[in-house]
Amino acid sequence: MKIEVVVDVKTTLGEGPLWDVEQQRLYWIDAAGMRVFRATHDGREIRAWDVPSRVGSIAIRKDGKGAICSLAKGFHALDFGTGECPLVAEIETARPTNWINDGKVDRRGRFFAGTMDSQETGPYGALYRLDPDFTVTQMETGIIVSNGPCWSPDGDIFYFADSWSGEIWAYDYDQETGSVSNRRTFTKIDTSRGGAADGSTVDAEGFLWNAQVYDGKLVRYAPDGSVDRVIDMPVKKVTSVMFGGPNLDILYVTSMAKPPLPRFPGDGVLRGSLFAIHGLGIKGVPEPRFAG
């Protein structure tokens, strides 16, 4: 196994690595820096787009010419050609201190993203589903920090975490309707160490990978929720993970250069880097595009 820095652009809050199989390009974001990045699997041909507010996650659209972005107060459509990023669906206008955080697309092309309390103290966030026709449905409430949405390889199990609950949850997922049910605890994380569940992905074997922010660890969980493997990263503030590359066997890891609140720890010179882990002997699954 080898861990290397692919791109060092010192993202203030690097997040959301996303490998697009059709384009053979890696996307990621700087949430606080309000930018969307794209590069080849080895960090070349870097391109960046500015967006009008804090960005929590993105999904490539079906034509590949743009992305749906979960920005601070709604979903926006970023045009890769013009750079324009108009609002398509506004949410939570009555909660000015909330913003939208992590998001992913299900096997049918629906985009799930959740909100969070900007001070990370109260259960004021929720989970939303954006359908291809841009209608929005609230799926879950009472969330402090929404993180880690992803699906099992067959699409029948939905995983999601409230970072400061100390739990990653599993739900039964109805792919026909896009509904969730039967929430249960998939695994528990010891937040007393200072770490918490951040971004997740699922590999081709059905194991879930989670970036444990502030603890500097990547944890691979078996389908029964037991710990299969732990990887110590060279920075503490790892934020999310995604398999990519030509063979879907490179694990990309984002990190943050600056913690969002003073109570969180700092890091060394590699803070904010985009990392790649080679030689795991494990492959990911292709991420779907948003169907709208």
* Known binding-site residue numbers for substrate: 101
User: Token pair of 175, please?
Assistant: 């792919």
Contacts of 173 (CB under 8 A, 6+ apart): 106, 151, 155, 156, 157, 158, 179, 180
HSE, side-chain direction, 13 A CA sphere, residue 261? 8
Contacts of 132 (CB under 8 A, 6+ apart): 109, 110, 290, 291, 292
Q: Residues 221, 202: contact at Cβ < 8 Å?
A: no
Which residue from 135, 185, 181, 195 is spatially nearest to 161, judged by alpha carbons?
Answer: 185
Q: What share of the chain is helix, strand, coil (3-state, %, to 5)?
A: 0, 55, 45
Which residue from 97, 186, 191 is spatially nearest to 148, judged by alpha carbons?
Answer: 186
For 265, which DSSP code? -
198 catalytic, yes or no? yes
Binding site for a divalent metal cation, residues?
A: 15, 147, 198
Kindly name the residue from 20, 162, 198, 203 that is annotated as catalytic.
Answer: 198
Cβ count near 60 (within 10 Å): 26
Catalytic residues: 198
